[in-house]
Chain A
Amino acid sequence: MKGSFRQSMAWLHTWSGLIVGWVLFAIFVTGTASYYRPDITRWMRPELTRAAPLDAPALGAAAERAVTYLKEHAPKARGWFIGLPQPDKPVLDLFWRTRPGEPPGHAMLDPRTGTEAAMRDTRGGDFLYRFHFELHMPPLWGRWVVGICAMIMLVALISGIVTHKRIFADFFTFRRDKAPRRSWLDAHNVTGVLALPFHLMITYTGIITLALMYMPWGVTTAYKGDNQAFFAEAGWVTTPRAPANRPAALAPVGPLVERALATVPETLERLSVVNPGDANATVIAVFEEPHGLSHQHPQIAFDGVSGEMLEVLGDGLKPAAKTFTVMTGLHEAHFAGTALRLLFFLCGLMGCAMVATGIVLWSLARLPKANERAFFGLRLVQALNIGSIAGLPAAVAVFFLANRLLPVDLAGRAEWEIDAFFGAWIVAALVPLVRPQRRAWCEGLAAVSLLCLAVVAADILTIPGHPLRLMGGDPLFAWFDAAMLLLAGLFALAARKVLRYEAPRKEGKRERDMAQGPRPEPMAPSPTRAPVRHREPTHA
């Protein structure tokens, strides 16, 4: 690190971007997909059809059926979580925790009968959503890794702004037909600068959503480490109640559901039953958040035995607590309707493109001269680039494909889907190590395109109610397939571009003439693409 402030920042930008680039790309891709988490989940559970919303007595009766099931299957649990049927997801989604360290239980019930719903076992969009901030690692580890990457991302963003010399003059500049380093740098700048408000917002709020985990000291000191007491005082959760350790029968939840619905005008999303069977049991009704930026669910706590209403949490947050919920709300964008959601999604894609062009630039800036061998670090970076930029989308496509092609009654089906995802990713990351770099790019991108097409084909062939086969089926399937076709087209275009690419004549001519002799290192994409390796500290 030497020279001017800007050069130091360029150094910081280059290396902070490189070390977290691949993980960030995965976080951005899965996070962008998570804007459509409910839709992806619904697509992955084609057995579910949309239903009319239930009225209060029907919802209460469904909740009763859930409690009956839980009393039988999870009598010892510390907490029951009952996702109530919604028009888009007409099932009872049950989840229970027995004790720390034990895997939680999970079941889906038909709300009309209380028996287990007949549908394929899948994690759906929740897998991508959790991967976004846990990377499929143990939650604590995953969140720390993602958090550190996000903090370094913030460093890379700020240092990138400082490094960019002509932020206003080059605001609209994308010279796609110039030398590769120039075009890639333009693409990196354009995707970074045009969506900069989004990038700063999403990175900062992303860190904030988990800030209490990264910086627990305030809560540790003021509340003696009792997070729940802090959350309750902030007004985010209802006051926790310790178990009395005396058994008592749980009050019928049906009437509680009806009273909750009469109190708060929002849609009732789920019930949490804390310490069921205890004299101090609590039933908490959690509603969908009202339309607003803030991510705060209204909640009502009932005494689980007497049925007395203990506490109603609405929107009475203090400024600091409200700031926090607005930041998480902005990050998750639950408030966004179709069009605004599409803009958020587009910004997410620009984030993916910014990270991808950034890590490619690092390797473009270090291409060997015509008579040099590529050094090991460069080859590693090149292979990792292909393994993530083509490999991750391929893995996501295989995840969708597995959802359609695995036998519906396969034991551990949800895990098989995830295994398919990681299996595909590992293969896609290893193959580029043994292939010439340009071929590997071309093959990787083409493979993603073919896999997306395969997803569409599998969807149409295996879903009897697909809108293309049945006039007027659920339009979700048509939209999903259209998005897949669009992705297939984009990746096919990219593959074609790599295949057909030739460096602009005037820049590469002399080197091309020189390279007619003994052919150098095959890893270099093409000798003509390698400009003289001069360091421009401000560019990659």
Chain B
Amino acid sequence: MTPSILAANLGLSFAALAALCLSLNRHHAEVFDRKAERAAVLRLRAFGWAAIAASLVVAGIGEGWAFGPVQWFGALTGAALGLVLLLSYRPRYVAPAALVALGLAAVPLSLAVFTVSP
């Protein structure tokens, strides 16, 4: 169970941080060559913080509330490092990578929900 929860944490963290990063004008311009609209900024921020919170809940439920927060912080740091490097070397890949990360996080999560619910 542990590796799939960690994968979900990493995926959620990456997508969340990428959204928060794209809500900042400088990075938005680096990636999309234009300024962010106000509505888009708000949407990105709302999604980013929600996904960070979701990641904590996933870690807490999946790993227990002792290990969960540790893993949550670790995943956030690891994902942030990857994001910063990607942003610096290949800014164009940030948005697609965030979508892929979200998709990767969804797989173990849906599996977990599927196995728990019946």
Contact = CB atoms under 8 A, between A and B. Distances in A.
User: Does A pair with B?
Assistant: yes
Interface of A: 169, 171-176, 190, 194-195, 197-198, 292-293, 330, 335, 337, 339-340, 343-344, 346-347, 350
Contact of B77 (A195, A293, A337): A195
Interface string B76-97: 1110110111011000000000
Contacts of A292: 66
A214 to B, nearest CB: 25
A339 B71 CA distance: 10
A169 B27 CA distance: 10
B101 interface: no
A194 B80 contact: yes
Contacts of B67: 293, 335
A176 B88 CA distance: 7
A10 to B, nearest CB: 23
Contacts of A169: 24, 26
Given A173-B26, A293-B67, A198 B83 contact: no
Q: Which 3 A-B pairs have the closest CB atoms?
A: A343-B74, A194-B80, A172-B21
A169 B83 CA distance: 15
Contacts of A330: 70
A350 B85 CA distance: 13
A174 B81 contact: no
A329 to B, nearest CB: 10
B21 A343 contact: no
B49 to A, nearest CB: 13
Nearest to A199: B77
B87 A194 contact: no
Given A172-B24, A343-B74, A346-B77, 9 more contacts: A173-B26, A174-B84, A175-B88, A194-B81, A194-B84, A198-B77, A292-B66, A339-B3, A347-B74
Contacts of B74: 198, 340, 343-344, 347
12 contacts: A172-B24, A174-B88, A190-B84, A195-B81, A197-B73, A198-B73, A339-B6, A340-B70, A343-B74, A343-B75, A346-B78, A347-B74
A347 B88 contact: no
B110 interface: no
A266 B74 CA distance: 27
A174 B76 CA distance: 17
A293 B6 contact: no
Contacts of B85: 174
B117 interface: no
Interface string B1-23: 01100100000000001001100
Interface of B: 2-3, 6, 17, 20-21, 24, 26-27, 66-67, 70-71, 73-78, 80-81, 83-85, 87-88
Nearest to A349: B81
Given A197-B77, A343-B78, A350-B77, A174 B87 contact: yes
A340 B63 CA distance: 12
Of listed A195, A198, A344, residue having the most chain B CB within 10 A: A195
Contact of B66 (A190, A293, A347): A293
A117 to B, nearest CB: 35
B7 to A, nearest CB: 8
Of listed B2, B67, B88, residue having the most chain A CB within 10 A: B88
Nearest to A175: B88
A172 B66 contact: no
Contacts of A176: 88
A340 to B, nearest CB: 6
A337 B81 contact: no
B23 to A, nearest CB: 11
Contacts of B71: 340, 343
Contacts of B84: 172, 174, 190, 194
B3 A350 contact: no
A293 B70 contact: yes
A350 B73 CA distance: 14
Contacts of A347: 74, 77
A139 to B, nearest CB: 30
A278 to B, nearest CB: 41
Contacts of B27: 172-173
A346 B26 CA distance: 27
Nearest to B7: A339
A172 B12 CA distance: 17
A339 B17 CA distance: 20
A242 B66 CA distance: 38
B6 A340 contact: yes
A171 B23 CA distance: 12
Nearest to B72: A197
B87 A172 contact: yes
A172 B83 contact: yes
A343 B2 contact: no
Nearest to A196: B77
Nearest to A291: B67
Contacts of A190: 84
Nearest to B71: A340
B70 A337 contact: no
A197 B52 CA distance: 15
A343 B70 CA distance: 10
Of listed A176, A343, A344, residue having the most chain B CB within 10 A: A343
Contacts of A346: 77-78, 81
A172 B48 CA distance: 14
Nearest to B74: A343
Of listed A335, A339, A344, A347, residue having the most chain B CB within 10 A: A339
B71 to A, nearest CB: 6
Contacts of B21: 171-172
A347 B75 CA distance: 10
Contacts of B75: 343
Contacts of A293: 66-67, 70
Nearest to A347: B77
Contacts of B3: 339
Contacts of A335: 67
A197 B69 CA distance: 11
Nearest to A342: B78
